[in-house]
Structure 1
C-alpha cells in the first residue's frame, strides 16, 4: 500500500518538496550552529537566499562596508548558498594578505572565474600551474623592462600618439574613453605581442570593447546571482554576453599568437609569446614544470594580462583628467609644479622625485577612484584561525578594498579628493600603509610597477600640454563623480575639453 502511494505523482511531488524543505532546514540549522561555534559573526541568512535580500547588489562594496560597522572587521555573509568571509579595514586586510599571505593566497574558483579561464592562466588559477605561470610572467615582464627604461621609452612614445589624438579635437569637447583605452592597451600589447596597434586597427577596438563590457557586466546583480546559482547562467543575458565577448577575444588572441608562432625564432625574443614558446622548447617533457607550458596557459595568460593591463590603467587616467576638470585649483598646482620643475622638455621618470605634488595627486586619484572596490575574491588554502575566528579551508574571502581606501581611522578626509593625504608638513611625498589599490600579498597586481609608470607618464605628458575643462556652458560643480558600477568603477560617460589656449 505504501509503495502504491509513493507511485502516485501528486503525493510523490509533495514528498519531494517536503524532503527539499527538510534539507534546507538542516542546512540552515548547520549555518546557525557553525556561526555560534567557530565562524565570524554576520547577519542571519535565509534558506537558499542567504543574505542576498540584505545587500544592495549594485553597490555591494558599500553594503558590505556598512555591515562591517555592525559586525566588525571579520564577518560572514551568504550569497545564496555560498559562504563569504569579508575582511574590512586597513589593519585587518593587511594582516590577512601580508602576515597570512599563504593562508589567504588562493583564488576563489567561482563559476564566473572558471568561465573566464577554465583554471588556466594567471588571474583565476591555483596550485602549481598558477605558481609557475606567475613566476614566469614576473620574470618575463622584468626582462621586457617593466618599471625600467625600456618600458619608459615605449610609454613616452605612446604619449605622443595620445597627444596627437587629443589635438585633433582642437579644444572642443570630446569623450576620451576610447583613445585612452587604446593607449593603455598598446603598452601591454607591446609586451605581449611585440607591437602596438594603430588606433584605427580593426582588432584593437573589438578586443578593448569586449573586455570593457565583460568587466562592466561582471559586477552586475545578475552575474552575482549566477555565481550563487550557476544553473541559471544560460537564461541570463549578461552571462551570455560575457561568454560571447570571451570567445571573441580568445579568437583574436589565438590568431595573434599563431601569427607570431609562424615566425618564431628561439634565438630572438620579441615578446611575451616568444618567451613562453622558448621556455616551452627548453623544458624536456620529463621536467615537472614543462607540463604547464601548453597553449591554454599561453592564451589565457595573455587574455588575463591584456584585460588587466588595459582596464584599470585607462580608468584611473580617465578619473584623473575628470578630477582635474572638477577641481581647477588642483590642476593649477599640478601645472605650476610641472612648469617650474620640467618646463617644456621631455618628462622622464627621474622627474617624479622632484614632483611631489603631482605624485600625491596620482596616488590620491587611485585612492579616491577606488577602481577595484571588492578586490578579486580569494579562498583560504588551509584551515586558519584569524583574529580569534576559525575559517575553514576553501572558504571564499573578500578583502574589501573600499574599507581600506576609505578607512576613517587612516585618512583625514576619506570622502574628499585631497592630495594632501600623501604630503607631509614640508610638502614632501610619503606613501601610506592604507594605500592598497593594487591589493597585497601573493595575489597583488603583477603589473603594479608598469601601471605606476604609465599613470605618471601619461598624466604628466597630458597636463604639460593641455588644460582640461568642462564642456562650454557647464560648471565644474556639474561634473558628476558618480561611477559606473561594474567589477571595476569607471567614470560616467562624459566629455571634456583639452585646451591649449589658456
Structure 2
C-alpha cells in the first residue's frame, strides 16, 4: 500500500515542476505525455507535435521531462551555440543497465572526453581520409559489384550483400582483417546487433525505461537484449585476446592494437579510462552505429535510383562524361561530380536514417529561443525536422538533388544539412561514412542500372519506423551496363 502514496506524491511533484519547462502535452500519471504520441510512431509524429506546440516543446516520458528542439533555428542554437552546454548524454535506466557509462557514444565526463579523443586520433592514424582506408573500401565495393553481377539482372534483395560489405570495412578498421560470410562469430555479432537495434524503441524497451524497478525482475525481450550484449562483449574480448598473443602492440595495425598500446602507456595513470570494458564497447559502437546507418543509406540509395530513373541516368551520364568507362573514381573525385555528390546528399537528407536524433543532456541551465531549459534535462534534437524544414528547403518532402546545387550546377554545401549531427557530439564516423557511401554508390551505378522487377509498377518509398528508418523489404534488378568499367 505504501507504493500508491509514493506514486501520488511523485505525480504531484511532476505537476509542480511542469511549469518550469517549455509547453507540451499535459502529463498523465505513469505515462506522462506519451498519450499524445499515439499507439505507433510515424515519420511525421514529431512534425505534428511541432505544429501544435512550437519549435521547442516538452514531452514527459513517465516522470522524466524530454525537451524536443525542432526546426533549423532551434536545433542550431542548441547544438552549435550551446555545444558545450549540451555535451552530455542522458543515462536512461536501460542504457545504465546495458552500457554502464562505457564507450564513446553514451558516456559522459572524463570517460567520454578520453575515449572520444582517442577515437578521433586513432581514426586518423588508421588512414581515415587517406588512400589506405579508401583502398579497402574500393575493394569491398568491387566485391559488392561482383555479388550483384552474379544475379545476372534477375530480381535481388540487396540488403544482406550491402550489410556484409559495410561490416567488412568496420572489421578491417577494428580487427585488422575481414571475416568470411560463414564465420560463426561474425554471424553472431551481426545478428545480435540487429536484434539490439530492433529492441531499441520497442514496447518492451519503453516499459523498461518507465518501470525499471519492475522490469528488472520480469522475463521478456529486455532480458534477451541484455544477455545478447554480454555475448557480443565476450566475442570482442576473444578478438582482444588474439591481438594480445600476436604481440603487435608496437606496430599497431588496427583499432584494437592502438587501444592495447594506449592501455600499456596509461597503466600507471590512476585516472585512466583505458580498459578492456571500454575497448569492447567502442568496437560494438563501431559495428552498431557504423554498419546500420551506412548500410541503410545505401539501401535507400538504390531504391530511390529505381524510383527515379531520370536522376539515375543523369548521375551515370555525369560519371561517363568526366571519367569515361576506364578510369577509377576516388573520394576526391566528388569535386568533379557535382550532380552525383548532390544526389548522395539528397538521399541522406530526404531519407534520414533516424526518427529524430541522438539525445543530449544539458550540464547547466540554458535558454534556447527565449525558453529556459533547466539543468540535467533530457533534450532531443529533432534532426529530421531540420532536414525537412520548409523554411530551409525548396521542396522538403520531395527527392530533389537540386537542393544541393547552385544556379550554375555547382555543388552547394548547406549548413542546414545536419545528417551527422553537430557540435561536440557530432558523429565520430562521419568521414568514414561519407567515403563509404560515395565509393559504394558510384561503383554500383557505373556497373548497373537499377530497375523495378518485371510486373512491379511501384515500390514503397516510405520508411519503416524503428530505431532506424529503413526501407520496407524490396527487390530490384541490377541490370549490367554495356559500358561499365
> What range describes the TM-score normalised by the shorter chain of this pair?
over 0.9
Is residue 161 from structure 1 mapped to residue 146 from structure 2 by the alignment? no
Moved more, 100-109 or 265-274: 265-274
Residue 299, structure 1, aligned to residue 285, structure 2: no
Cα-to-partner distance string for 1:403-448 (whole Å, 9 max, x where unaligned): 1111110111111111111111111111112111111111110010
1:481 — aligned with what?
461
Does 2:39 align with 1:46?
no
Q: 2:259 aligns with which of 276, 297, 303?
A: 276
- CA gap 1:63/1:343 in 2 versus in 1, 3 angstroms: same
Structure 1 CA distance, aligned partners of 2:302 and 2:69? 32
Query: How much has 1:356 moved relative to structure 2?
Result: 0.6
Partner of 2:225: 242
Of 224, 238, 243, the match for 1:255: 238
1:184/1:314 contact within 8 Å kept: yes
Which residue pairs with 2:152 in the alignment?
A: 170
Q: Distance in 2 between matches of 1:299 and 1:451?
A: 21
Match of 1:407 in 2: 389
TM-score w.r.t. the length of structure 1 is: 0.92
- Report the alpha carbon displacement of residue 125 of structure 1 after superposing the two structures with TM: 0.5
Q: Cα gap change, 1:168/1:202 in structure 2, threshold over 3 Å: closer, same or farther?
A: farther
C-alpha spacing 1:445/1:241, structure 2 compared with 1 (3 Å): same
Q: 1:92 to 1:195 in 2, by over 3 A?
A: same
Aligned to 1:311: 292
Change (3 A) 1:115 1:346: farther
The 1:155/1:57 distance shift into structure 2, 3 A limit, reads: farther
Match of 2:87 among 105, 122, 132: 105
Contact conserved, 2:197 with 2:467, CA < 8 A, in 1?
yes
Deviations along 1:107-126, one digit per CA (max 9) or x if unpaired, are: 11012222342111111110
The alpha-carbon deviation at position 225 of structure 1 amounts to: 3.1
Q: Confirm whether residue 186 of structure 1 aligns to residue 165 of structure 2.
A: no
Match of 1:358? Answer: 340
**Secondary structure at the counterpart of residue 86 of structure 1:** strand
Distance 1:169 1:237, change over 3 A: farther
Alignment match, 2:37: 55
Matches within 5 A, 1:33-432: 35=19, 38-56=20-38, 58-59=40-41, 62-234=44-216, 235=218, 237-285=220-268, 287=269, 289=271, 291-344=272-325, 345-432=327-414
Runs of 4+, deviation exceeding 6 Å: none
Q: Give the match's secondary structure for 2:57.
A: strand
Q: Secondary structure at 1:106's aligned position in 2?
A: coil
Partner Cα separation in structure 1 for residue 68 and residue 409 of structure 2: 36
Q: Could you tell me how far 1:279 is from its partner in structure 2?
A: 1.1
- State the distance in 2 between where 1:57 and 1:453 align: 38
What is the alpha-carbon distance in structure 2 between the residues aligned to residue 341 and residue 236 of structure 1? 59
1:368-399 residue CA offsets vs partner (Å, 9 max, x unmatched) = 11102221111111222332222222110000
CA contact (8 A) 2:43 2:463 kept: no
Q: Tell me what 2:427 maps to.
A: 445
Q: Distance in 2 between matches of 1:283 and 1:19?
A: 51
Q: Name the CA distance, whole Å, in 1 between partners of 2:188 and 2:130.
A: 30
Larger displacement relative to structure 2 (316-325 or 188-197): 188-197
* 64-73 vs 137-146, greater mean Cα deviation: 64-73
Partner of 1:8: none
Count of residue pairs brought into register by the alignment: 480
State whether residues 24 and 48 of structure 1, in contact with CA within 8 Å, keep that contact through their aligned partners in structure 2. no
Corresponding residue for residue 26 of structure 1: 12
d(CA) in 1 for partners of 2:347, 2:407: 20
Structure 1 unpaired stretches of 5+: 1-12
Task: Give the structure with the higher percent helix.
Answer: 1
Q: What's the CA shift for 1:288? A: 5.0
Cα gap change, 1:162 to 1:395, in 2 (>3 Å):
same
**Larger Cα Rg: Structure 1 or Structure 2?**
1
Contact 1:439 1:445 (8 Å CA) reproduced: yes
Farther-moved stretch of structure 1 (445-454 vs 304-313): 304-313
